[in-house]
Amino acid sequence: MTADFNDSKFINRLELDVNEVSEVISVFVDGMPNQNTRIYLNDIELLNYNYSSLNSDIFIVKNIEIFEGSFLDNLTIDKEQDTNFVYKCLDTLDIGFIKNIIFEQTCFQTSKYHELLTNDVLVKMTILRAILYKPKLLILVDILSSLDDKSKKSVIDIIESNNICTVILNETEVIN
């Protein structure tokens, strides 16, 4: 399998089977592709990049993650953020109500029982955290599939408006 991600095209979409998605993620996480996998960033094979600097510039979102702490802590990962920018992003993603509970404490367990925190809201929060991290490459693994078209569009719009090179990997069934 060969995949070429070029930052002149901000959003790259790939339909891969579950095994291929695992291969791509393992290359980014472990830096060790199998012999059949070649990944290129801007026409340079991934193996030629400095692994530690590359890893610090990539944010992979595969699952919903909510950490113990305030909602603001969950969004900013201890990075200094412009609160107005965070609020604008919340509004853009149609989850502006979080501004009213931004300092409330939460964790994954309590978020499951919070009446306002639907799966869509938690997905958007998880993606917003990645956007606020300002990675050079954002990889979304099958996380958008649960969102409706309007929500997907708002996520894509905010990614594009922040000029974040993004790869959307959609897992497909392996058919033998």
Domains of the chain: 53-172 (3.40.50.300)
The number of beta carbons lying within 10 Å of the beta carbon of residue 159 is: 20
**Per-residue pLDDT, 78:** 61
> ∠ CA 21-27-32 to the nearest 5 degrees?
135
**Per-residue pLDDT, 98:** 92
Give the closest residue to 57 by CA, choosing from 159, 148, 122, 133.
133
pLDDT at 176 exceeding the cut of 60: no
pTM: 0.77
**Per-residue pLDDT, 134:** 85
Please check whether residue 60 is in contact with residue 139, taking contact to mean a CB–CB distance below 8 angstroms.
Answer: yes
User: What does the pLDDT look like over 105-160, one tens digit per residue?
Assistant: 887 777 777 788 888 999 999 999 999 988 878 888 888 888 999 999 999 899 88
**Per-residue pLDDT, 46:** 67
> ∠ CA 55-78-56 to the nearest 5 degrees?
5
**Per-residue pLDDT, 4:** 56
Structure tokens given for 5 = 């991600």
Count the helices and strands in the chain (H runs, E runs).
7, 9
pLDDT at 174 exceeding the cut of 60: no
**Per-residue pLDDT, 128:** 93
User: What does the pLDDT look like over 62-105, one tens digit per residue?
Assistant: 888 888 888 888 888 766 788 889 999 999 999 999 999 988 88
Please check whether residue 164 is in contact with residue 10, taking contact to mean a CB–CB distance below 8 angstroms.
Answer: yes
HEC assignment per residue over 112-175: CCCCCCCHHHHHHHHHHHHHHHCCCEEEEECCHHHCCHHHHHHHHHHHHHCCCEEEEEEEECCC
